[in-house]
Amino acid sequence: MKRTASAHWNGKINEGKGEISTQSNTLNETQYSFKSRFENGVGTNPGELIGAAHAGCFTMAVSAALTPFFIGRSKYCFYFMCLYPMAIFMFY
């Protein structure tokens, strides 16, 4: 399966803004900006998207690893924080 995404940026780095879209339309012209990355601006940011992708992959891998052992849990929650160059996972 091949998935694609696109990102468009307009303007200077600290004043500009952009949109991110995915082939599945889960993200459809979703706003991102300098302020959403480094301050409390509206929209997402690349770090948040990477964190979500890692957490999603990790939870699927844990579920796949635990399924053969029939551990009585059917719900796994993970919190992922990306603090370059390290990542922190928490399981609850």
Question: Each residue of 16-58: pLDDT tens digit?
Answer: 999 999 999 999 999 999 998 888 888 998 888 887 887 788 7
pLDDT of 87 above 70 = no
Query: Where in the sequence is the domain holding 88, given as residue range(s)?
Result: 46-92
Beta strands 5-10; 86-91: pairing state: unpaired
**Are 29 and 39 contained in the same domain?**
yes
**Are 1 and 26 contained in the same domain?**
yes
**Are 23 and 51 contained in the same domain?**
no
**Are 69 and 59 contained in the same domain?**
yes
pLDDT band, residue 59 (cuts 50/70/90) = confident
Contact indicator for 23, 3 with CB cutoff of 8 Å: yes
How many domains does one find in the chain?
2
pLDDT of 2 above 80 = yes
**Are 30 and 57 contained in the same domain?**
no
**Are 32 and 72 contained in the same domain?**
no
Q: What is the pLDDT of residue 65?
A: 79
**Are 63 and 40 contained in the same domain?**
no
**Are 5 and 38 contained in the same domain?**
yes
Residue 57 φ then ψ, to 5°: -65, -40
**Are 37 and 22 contained in the same domain?**
yes
Stronger pLDDT, 82 or 50, i.e. the higher one = 50
